[in-house]
Chain A
Amino acid sequence: MEHRARSPSGTRPTPTMTIAATYLPVLALLPFVVGMLVAFLPRHARNAAAGLAGATALIGVLLTALLYRGVTEGAVLRQTWSWLPDIGLELTWRLDGLSWLFSLLVTGIGALVVLYARYYMAAEDPVPRFFSYLLSFMGSMLGLVLSGNLIQLLFFWELTSLLSFLLIGYWHHNENARDGARMALTVTGLGGFLLLMGVLLVGHVVGSFDIDTVIANRDVLMASPLVTPAIICLLIGAFAKSAQFPLHFWLPHAMAAPTPVSAYLHSATMVKAGIYLMMRLWPVMAGNDTWYYVVSLAGLVTFLLGGIAATFQYDLKGILAYSTISHLGLITLLLGLSTPAAAVAAIFHTLNHATFKASLFMAAGVIDHETGTRDIRRLSGLFRHMPYTGTLAIVAAGAMAGVPLLNGFISKEMFLTETLAFHTGSLLDRLLPLIATLGSAFSVLYSVRFIHQVFFGPEATDLPRKPHEPVGWMRLPIELLVFICLVVGIVPNLSVGPLLRSAVVAVLGPEAPRFHLELWHGFTPAFMLSLVAMALGASLYFALYRRLANREARERPWAGRARARRIFDGAMTGLFAGAGFITRLAGTVRLQPQLFLIVLAAVVAGAAPFVYHAVTQAGAGLTLGTRPLTPVSLPFVVVWAFGIASATGAAILAKFHRLAALILTGGAGLAVCLTFVWLSAPDLAVTQLLVEIVTTVLLLLGLRWLPARVATKEDRERARALVVARRGRDLVLALIAGGGMAALALAAMTRPRVGGIAGFFNANALEGGGGRNVVNVILVDFRGFDTMGEITVLAIVALTVFALLRRFRPAREVVGSTRQQRRQDAYDEARSDREVGDTARDYLFVPRIVMHLLFPVITLFAIHLFLRGHNEPGGGFAAGVAMAIAFIIQYMARGTRWVEERLRVLPLIWIGTGLLVAALTGIGAWFFGRPFLTSAHGHLHLPVIGEVSLASASLFDLGVFALVIGATVLMLIALAHQSIRSARASLSTQELEGATSAPSPAAAETAVKLGEAGGD
């Protein structure tokens, strides 16, 4: 990536500078470390927490001060840690005049806020958490201003958003705090994501995320078509952070935070992050039209709007919040003007605003703390009680209003001068002086109001607490800040001149204008304007006095706050509701549409290649191969006529005639089975047949629990047009899918056989696998691993069935004896010589004998299947299923109880053993240095059965055999057993008693016999 980037033209670092640079990471990361520690302090360790925090902040101030020498006259301290070079992400710590100024603000005001907070926070608050958040926030801010890489900057940027969220929501039991926090994170988070996009755009164009490189490649960026989207994304990010219109509304709500937080976030840090970003990018962006218009306009609107809104607030912090917005607008406007002098003014005002706004917030906090209210309508005449705080507040407010001898005055003057200077001659440019003056007038107005209504006027009567001066420690931070305001205001050049100089050079480069901070420039036009502003502000105050001093007044809706809140909430609700709507629209919770979509997707996927092939290569799409067709034989056709008929029948009858459908399905299965025989797949035929039997029995057992359904009148009525249409649609899809499968099958069958892996198996089955039945050898040897997995599936399913049926609750209406059963029992009860269940017993007399005799026969058959499996059709699976059938037949004949009393079935044991045998046989190979499942084999001749292979594979097969018995029997019995439980359940409500006490034999038969019940 780097190659496209022109390397930055920075000053060559001297050895001392490189040493100094190593302190940068310490400066940024120390607060995080201490913050972590503080978090683990006990809940009431106020002093310890505050002490640690304060010490950290002071160390920060000290380090910053020491590093000053490294950043004068455009010098830059840089330190790069290689972190993630692979994705072009390295940690570059970078300090220049501008970031130095900001870190001074962050640490310095941070220290004062910590001191203030120590006395502001109540004893019952979990203070360690507070200071931990505060420190981490300080760290994020420092990291942000010390980042030399846009991604790194973004990283800390997001951290400031998150931590401000935690700080604003610190008193989370209070709803306003929660909402304020959510709103703040939503807005700044949105900004963050857009900033990410902006950074990606810039990085993509410039080819590097390194800030110096980006600045050095200004022309590359400006030449790119992506510059406008990039600027817009970056600016939205900055505006969201710095509360610029229209993203300003979160800031007033953030006032729900503890006052120290407000004093910190809204004077020196959080909101200044956006300003910092704009200053950082100023050298790159300034002069670009998009930048000029977007930034200046946003700044202008914010400046005015904030001023007006502040005027009509009744909450002290509300006034300060909007005044903050207004002043941020002022700074933004200056940055938008894109002239060096304006940039100077912007930087200077940032500094001044931080000082006086912090002190004002603290003063407001003191008033709140000592009187118990921040409502300007209740406060009045406080000067009597707290003259000292009052004086401090008056000075700070003066600075805010731009009164001479105070720092605010000087930067305000510079601002007005800039507005007067001619730039582009645009309409905006012409109107600027007027609007600027108006805005300044408003800041005069709300400053005057703040002081006059709080400290003067009649004695306040209804204050929650008796007001008095705060403890000295709580006042100290304010005193210091106000002192700074005065010093800077009186001897600007001596105090901040050099600092400002180095910051300005950092932004504007060495050719930055030589400015001279003066308290008095003489009667310049700018001075006139500020006089006008003051006069206007004062007179406006007296004009509006009646309304503003009205103690019953309610907040004006157009004062922004409430309305913005409504809009925001509306937007959020809309977002959630819209999302819900889309989710319902583009999704479904019903099964049928989902299955429909899957089939549809398969059809489309299957068809797409042929269509594409036909369209692009002008190929024929789906083609038949050259393989000669096998001659048709009539019986086969007859079989399939039968098969097709029964399949169709099953499809039609499945809804109202379950039993019939089941039998017909069996018919279709039989056709498949015969096809297997025909097409030389005896193993498949055998297995298919056996599985067929078991499946049918299972389904029969299941039928008993389904609700009786007969095609009633309303059923037919229910077949409304809609339903018919839906069925039609499904049928069409089904036809396409079926036709598609048929076509694919035909296409494949008519192609000549490919020389694949098959030949190898035929060749090696006997030598390598020791079996004549190639299919079986594949199953237990070549691809034995598949079989391994397959029996595992069987085992898992058995376990699941077991678990499910344990919790099985039949539906009310099918509980208890079924129609046939009731009829029989009634018959039995009617006759004295018979007892309940006899009919059923007689009715099954002959079959029972036969079935009973079948047991040994089937067992023998199973063993035979198993032994010959390796050479003839058969094998462990088939044998297992056969054996299971032998068991289930006994269940049919004798009933659950009878069987379970005589032979103890422990299917889980069978399953477990089977799996183990199979797996361990496979592992056995390890000890001959061969991989899993490698088989060894020999042969042996037995009478009757013939050649038996003693392959280790047969041991594996034995495992399969055991497992299949276990699993199949488990499923069958578990299902059959339900009838006993529910038969009991019908008698006693207690389901649990069911199985232990002996149920009637009759109930046992229900297992199978009454399977038909649901059918007709």
Chain B
Amino acid sequence: MEIVVAIGIGVLATTGVYLILRPRTFQVIIGLSLLTYAVNLFILAMGRLVVDGAPLLAEGADPSTFADPVPQSLVLTSIVISFSMTALFLVVLLAARGITGTDHVDGDGMSA
């Protein structure tokens, strides 16, 4: 599992980084989303992988088998924040697109 997750993180990060380095704003925003996925997984992974150990204190649940709850709460926070940032970035890029008339990150026709 660890290896699969690691590979997953790696691919998401790679695609994300590649996209944020591209010249079109839409590519950048997609890249940021992918990067966010990668980071959220990464954070979760930092608590090590635990299967069926949801940190819910039901009767008879043994906390020692729980997954680390801290990274989970961190991920929740980061999900919220990155969601709002994605929304913001979207609107900014739309505004830029409207004002500069192009969807290039530098607001000109340059391409790469």
A interface vs B, CB < 8 Å? 589-592, 595-596, 599, 627, 629-633, 636-637, 640, 643-644, 647-648, 650-651, 654-655, 658, 661-662, 665, 668-669, 671-672, 675-676, 678-684, 687-688, 691, 694-695, 698-699, 702-703, 705-707, 709, 718, 723, 726-727, 730-731, 733-735, 737-739, 741-746, 748-751, 753, 756-759, 761-763, 765-766, 772-775, 778-779, 783, 786-787, 790-791, 793-794, 797-798, 800-801, 804-805, 807-812, 871-873, 877, 967, 971, 975
How far, in angstroms, from A872 to B56 measured CA to CA in the complex? 7
Proximity bits, B81-112, A CB within 8 Å = 1, else 0: 10111111011111101110111011000111
Report whether B29 and A699 are in contact in the complex, using a CB–CB cutoff of 8 Å. Answer: yes
Whether A655 contacts B24 by the Cβ 8 Å rule is: yes
**Pair B8/A680 contact, Cβ less than 8 Å:** no
Which residue of the partner chain, among B12, B17, B44, B99, contacts A681 with CB atoms under 8 Å?
Answer: B44
The answer to whether B68 and A746 have CB atoms under 8 Å apart is: no
A647 surroundings in chain B (CB, below 8 A): 11-12, 15, 34
- Of A640, A699, A797, the residue contacting B8 (CB under 8 A) is A640
In the A-B complex, the 6 residue pairs with the closest CB atoms: A738-B14, A742-B10, A762-B63, A734-B18, A774-B55, A738-B13
Decide: A774 and B1 in contact? CB cutoff 8 A: no
What is the chain A residue whose CB lies nearest that of B20? A595
Number of interface residues of B (CB under 8 A): 89
Report the minimal beta-carbon distance from B79 to chain A, rounded to whole angstroms: 6
The answer to whether B33 touches A695 (Cβ under 8 A) is: yes
A742 & B105 in contact (Cβ 8 Å cutoff): no
> Which residue of the partner chain B has the closest CB to A651?
B15
Shortest A77–chain B CB gap in Å is 67
Residues of B within 8 A of A805 (CB): 91, 95
CB within 8 Å for A797 and B87 given contacts A636-B1, A643-B8, A811-B101: yes
Residues of A within 8 A of B10 (CB): 738-739, 741-742, 745
Q: A644-B11, A672-B41, A718-B111 are in contact. Are A650 and B21 (CB under 8 A)?
A: no
Interface residues of B in 17-47 (CB under 8 A from A): 17-27, 29-31, 33-34, 37-38, 40-42, 44-47
- Cβ B91 vs Cβ A745 within 8 A: no
Known: A596-B21, A629-B2, A655-B24. A745 touches B69 (CB 8 A): no
CB distance from A588 to the nearest CB of B (A): 10
Q: Which residues of B contact A733 (CB under 8 A)?
A: 17, 21
| Additional 7 contacts, C-beta under 8 A, given A726-B112, A757-B70 | A595-B21, A640-B5, A687-B80, A730-B21, A737-B13, A765-B57, A800-B91
**With A and B bound together, what is the CA distance between A773 and B105 in angstroms?**
43
- Which listed residue (A679, A750, A787, A873) contacts B67, Cβ 8 A? A679
Chain B residues near A (Cβ < 8 Å): 1-27, 29-31, 33-34, 37-38, 40-42, 44-58, 63, 66-70, 72-73, 75-77, 79-81, 83-88, 90-95, 97-99, 101-103, 105-106, 110-112
**With known contacts A742-B7, A761-B70, A804–B95 Cβ distance under 8 A:** yes
Find out whether the CB atom of A680 lies under 8 angstroms from the CB atom of B51. yes
A797 touches B7 (CB 8 A): no
Main DSSP-derived SS at the B contact region = helix
**Residues of A contacting B53 with CB < 8 Å?**
680
Instruction: Determine if A746 and B95 form an interchain contact, defined as CB atoms under 8 angstroms apart.
Output: no
Cα distance A794–B76 when bound, in Å? 13
Residue contact A680 to B4, C-beta cutoff 8 Å: no
B41 — which chain A residues lie within 8 A by C-beta?
A: 672, 675, 745
**CB-based nearest B residue for A783:** B73
Q: How far is the CB of B65 from chain A (nearest CB, A)?
A: 9
**Is the pair B38, A741 in contact by a Cβ cutoff of 8 Å?**
yes
A753 contact set on B, CB distance < 8 A: 47-48, 68
The answer to whether A591 and B105 touch (CB under 8 A), given A640-B8, A680-B67, A691-B79, is: yes
Inter-subunit contact B67/A681 (CB<8 Å): yes
Identify which of A648, A709, A808 contacts B15 (C-beta below 8 A).
A648
A779 touches B73 (CB 8 A): yes
Q: Is the CB of A687 within 8 A of B46?
A: no
Report whether A650 and B8 are in contact in the complex, using a CB–CB cutoff of 8 Å. Answer: no
Instruction: Please determine whether B48 and A627 come into contact, CB atoms closer than 8 angstroms.
Output: yes
Question: Per a CB cutoff under 8 Å, which of A727, A742, A765, A786 touches B6?
Answer: A742
CB of A52 to closest CB in B, whole Å: 59
Which residues on B sit within 8 Å (CB–CB) of A810? 98
**Which B residues are CB-close (under 8 A) to A758?**
47, 68-70
Are B95 and A672 neighbours in the complex by a CB distance under 8 Å? no
Q: Assess whether B30 is in contact with A877, with CB atoms less than 8 Å apart.
A: no
Indicate if the CB atoms of A811 and B50 lie closer than 8 Å.
Answer: no
Residues of B within 8 Å of A630, CB to CB, are 1-2, 49-51
Contact A691 B112, beta carbon cutoff 8 Å: no
Q: Which of B1, B80, B97 contacts A706 (CB 8 A)?
A: B97
In the complex, residue of chain B having the shortest beta-carbon distance to the beta carbon of A813: B101
A-B contact pairs, 21 of them (CB 8 A): A590-B110, A596-B21, A630-B2, A665-B33, A668-B34, A675-B8, A687-B80, A688-B40, A691-B80, A705-B97, A705-B98, A741-B9, A745-B9, A756-B70, A757-B70, A758-B47, A773-B56, A793-B80, A794-B81, A801-B87, A801-B88
Neighbour of A629 across the interface among B3, B29, B101, CB < 8 A:
B3
Task: Indicate the member of B10, B101, B103 with the most A CB atoms within 10 Å.
Answer: B10
Q: Report the separation of the CA atoms of residues A699 and B31 in the bound assembly, to the nearest whole angstrom.
A: 13
Residues of B within 8 A of A779 (CB): 73, 76-77
Given A629-B1, A707-B97, A718-B111, do A749 and B55 touch, yes or no (CB 8 Å)? no
Which residues on the B side are within 8 Å of A726 (C-beta)? 112
Inter-chain CA distance A605–B50, complex, in Å, is 30
* Nearest neighbor of B88 in chain A, beta-carbon distance: A797
